[in-house]
Amino acid sequence: MAQATLETRENRRAWGFVTPALLWTIAFFVIPFIVMAAISLATRKGREIVMAFNLDNYITFFEKAHLLKGLFVSLEITFTVTIISVVLAYPLAWIIAERVPQKWQRMALIMAILPFWTSYVVRSYSWLLVLAKNGVINNTLLHIGLIAEPLELASTRTATVIGFVHFFVMLLTLTIYANLVQMPPNYRRAAADLGANGFQVFWHVVLPLTLPGIMVGAFLTFVLCIGDYITPQILGGNNELALPQVIMLQLGRRADFPMAATLSIILMAVVTLAYIACARWLKMERT
Amino acid sequence: MFRHVSTGKTRNKLLGGAATFLLTAVAFGQGAQATEELNALVWCDHTDPALIEPFEKKYDVKVNLKEYEGTGAGLSIIEQSRPGDWDVFVIDGVDVHRAVEMDLLAEIPADALPTSDIFPEVVMAENNVVDGKIYAVTEKFGYNTISFDKTKVDPKDMEDMSVIWSDKYAGRIAIYDYYLPVIGLVGLGLGIDTADLGADDMDAIKDKLFAMKKVSKQVGEVVSSQTALATGEVDILVGGGEWITAVLSEDKPNLDWVIPKQGGLRWAQSIGVMKESAKPDLALKFVQYILSPEGQARLATSSCYWGMPANAKAGVNLTDAQKAALRWDDQAGYLQNSQLYPIPDADLDAQMQDAWVEMLQQ
């Protein structure tokens, strides 16, 4: 009897702790999501929104090549950025964790994330100036005679990828570094004692142990990159549209909220699939 | 065989740390405070402090400005707002009827406006007056044509619209990202008057839009288009005009603009008072200030873009150099060789926007 009362009291306490977060999630995620899903089933007829509750917008998305292409552009850019960022961030995190003396590691990390202290928009515009025909890169290459004509760097997908990679390398460096410094050095020593060479130690011990850091960073990179509007808008020169840009066009130019909601749901579905793919490394329960 | 060692605590720390990091990256700001405020939905030329501050001082009011590009975007903002949120609306002259149909604009008393001072060609009563009632008044006008760097291209080439889809200047062309004037220009290039442009013309227009995209370097809004031309990133801007080059006339005398032999598009912006405004008198005073010779001169030479003032009396407040940059004395010829924007119905508008996005995705 006393046991049951204790359990009830503990249950109540647990609910007391959970309820605010639950209400917050319901108010600011679940309800807006339901509203958005419902609006995605409406239709824009002329200048009116008709609550038709059909799948016309989803069908239109797959029928109209210029809308579907927005998704493919987003996926191509996102995968490219994620892979390049991981490849660049891992050695950087390794150098900070393993080669930089411990007393300087904090300073090295601050230096690594220093660009985060500037505005995201300002940073994107700065890249535009760096990559422009008369920008730092082209002027330097022309000056040292490596090129005869300026390279077309600004207003291209390459510019978008560079802008993203600059941002996400810093994020990934942090998550991988956090993993590296928590890895007990004995694991590597044990592997070496058992005859593993440097590459084998990295491949069989270090890499698997730092995979959670890589995957957390890669997942965050994927989510933030695929949903980003600013970088492709500023650096891409509107030469192709990523899905968030297509969504903004529906909202800003056409006031077509149903189609914007449809595209947003599709974007969410892609992020959900990415989460499922990474779930093994992202699960929150303690092991 | 070495096994992966899973550490749940590490994951939690990683996710928690990353979340904290992301939250710290979010910036926030504080809104301005004022006892009386006026909210205006405007084009970017109205955001110049040199234009707004004299009004704010005179009436001890804070004017909150929200800028937009393209009527669709403006109407979208209004649809997302509550009635009464906006007091003043600056809108494309050709879209005043659309706003009146949506019951957005209030009637303006004729005797409150300096109509007799406005250049007769831009009074545009057919746009600003509905059923004999004035709902808006033209405040500024100019041209969407071809802007270019005359030191880098042959100015003679710019007199023929077909240059914008030819290979001669491939990779050196920027396109202003506003579908209505550019589609109108392409139509003129194909010999179609803007007033006659219909759904049957869209296939031909799409072909030319795609050809134009193929030879272009970028498609951008006002600031990025202007920057691209000014920095030499591109040498030609399709959809440009005095509104792009005049503001740079002192620093960049190499930039010029022309109305091709096929004609150009004439833009005209109108200003009106919102029907649901809680401060209609103050809103009308703002409209009157913008239409006054002083307000008109400041609006004409706004830091965002320049354009011809609708009020002929603004000339006394402009310098000779400013008038020259605006081509004050050439307006008669320009007005004759230019047409107003196309006015598509909802279906044609949707077709045009689809064609525009298709072009962007080429």
What are the tens digits of pLDDT across the range A53-68? 899 999 999 999 999 9
Note the pLDDT tens digit of each residue in B219-242.
988 888 888 898 888 999 999 998
> Closest approach of chain B CAs to the CA of A10, in angstroms?
24
| Res. B86: pLDDT tops 90 | yes
The set of residues, in sequence order, having a beta carbon less than 8 Å from that of A225 and lying 6+ positions away, is A77, A78, A81, A82, A164, A168
Q: Is the dihedral of CA A156, A161, A164, A165 positive or negative?
A: negative
Out of 3.40.1360.10, 3.30.420.60, 1.10.3720.10, 3.30.1370.60, select the CATH number for domain A65-282: 1.10.3720.10
B-interface mutation test, from A47, A49, A199, A219, most B Cβ less than 10 A away: A47
Q: What percent of chain A has pLDDT over 90?
A: 60
pLDDT band, residue A110 (cuts 50/70/90): confident
- Residue B233 CA to residue A186 CA, distance in Å, equals 56
Q: What percent of chain B has pLDDT over 70?
A: 91
- Residue B108 CA to residue B130 CA, distance in Å, equals 11
Per-chain mean pLDDT for chain B: 88
- The angle at the Cα of B228, spanning B226 to B229, to the nearest 5 degrees, equals 65
pLDDT of amino acid B34: 55
AA identity, residue A257: F
Q: Do B232 and A133 touch (CB under 8 A)?
A: yes
pLDDT of amino acid B24: 41
Report the residue from B7, B72, B220 with minimal CB separation from A237: B220
Strands (E), chain B: 37-42, 62-67, 88-92, 129-130, 133-134, 137-149, 173-176, 216-220, 236-240, 255-258, 264-273, 308-309, 338-340
Task: Please report, for residues A99, A100, A250, B189, the alpha-carbon distance to residue A92 in angstroms, rounded to integers and kept in the order given.
Answer: 10, 11, 40, 55
Q: Do A66 and B12 touch (CB under 8 A)?
A: no
- CB B208 within 8 Å of CB B125: no
Asked if A47 reaches chain B (Cβ–Cβ under 8 Å), the answer is yes
- CB A138 within 8 Å of CB A58: no
Domains in chain B, start-ordered, CATH in brackets?
37-141+267-340 (3.40.190.10), 142-266+345-360 (3.40.190.10)
> Closest approach of chain B CAs to the CA of A4, in angstroms?
32
Note the pLDDT tens digit of each residue in B124-146.
998 999 999 999 999 999 999 99
- Residue A281 CA to residue B13 CA, distance in Å, equals 13
pLDDT of amino acid B33: 57
Helix (H, G, I), strand (E, B) or coil at B70: coil
pLDDT of amino acid B56: 95
Compute the average pLDDT of residues A5-29.
91
pTM score, two decimals? 0.79
pLDDT of amino acid A134: 84
| Res. B13: pLDDT tops 80 | no
pLDDT of amino acid B114: 93
Compute the average pLDDT of residues A36-49.
86
Note the pLDDT tens digit of each residue in B161-214.
999 999 999 999 999 999 999 999 999 999 999 999 999 999 999 999 999 999
